[in-house]
Amino acid sequence: MEKRYILISKISFDIDDIGSVNTEKFYTLAEAKVAAKRDNKGGWLTTIIDLENKNIEWQGDK
């Protein structure tokens, strides 16, 4: 079974927007939401991406 969801988390450390980006992979949306909630409590901005979404335009090999 392939991991289907990616959680992208970002935090800025100063006014110049220097910070950190973290990615995690999950099998279920529920798992991704739990991790996003954890990161949000820590001050991170989060986005969950469903890799099976047909509307995603992938860059690279075509």
Kindly report, residue by residue over 21-44, the tens digit of the pLDDT.
999 999 999 999 999 999 999 989
Other beta carbons within 10 angstroms of residue 36's beta carbon come to 21
Position 52 confidence tier, pLDDT thresholds 50, 70, 90: confident
Which distant-in-sequence residues (6+ apart) come within 8 Å of 49 by Cβ? 5, 6, 8, 56
Q: Looking at residues 35-60, what average pLDDT do you find?
A: 88
CB-based contact 28:5 (threshold 8 Å): yes
Domain definitions of the chain by residue range? 5-50
On average, the pLDDT of the chain sits at: 87
